[in-house]
Amino acid sequence: MRTIIIGGGIQGITIALKLLEERKLTIHDLLIIDPYPFISRWKTITNKIGMDSRYICSWPIS
């Protein structure tokens, strides 16, 4: 199943991770569209609330 997620914020990334964890799709079937660099907005918002950057999700994208 090919999937496009609009928005790479917390909600978009969470949905993507859930789908990947449950093996509903593979990384090759996933496209996240966002006008900002990868998880840029996520880092901005989590930094505002004092979230440690070690908890920001990232994975290799091939």
* Alpha-carbon gap, residue 31 to 2, rounded angstroms: 8
Quick: pLDDT tens for 20-58: 999 989 989 999 888 877 667 777 777 888 876 555 555
* Alpha-carbon gap, residue 50 to 8, rounded angstroms: 20
Q: Identify whether the C-beta of residue 1 lies closer than 8 Å to the C-beta of residue 29.
A: yes
The reported pLDDT for the residue numbered 7 is 87
Q: Identify whether the C-beta of residue 19 lies closer than 8 Å to the C-beta of residue 3.
A: yes
Q: Identify whether the C-beta of residue 42 lies closer than 8 Å to the C-beta of residue 8.
A: yes
The reported pLDDT for the residue numbered 54 is 56
Residues 6+ apart with CB under 8 A from 20: 26, 27, 30
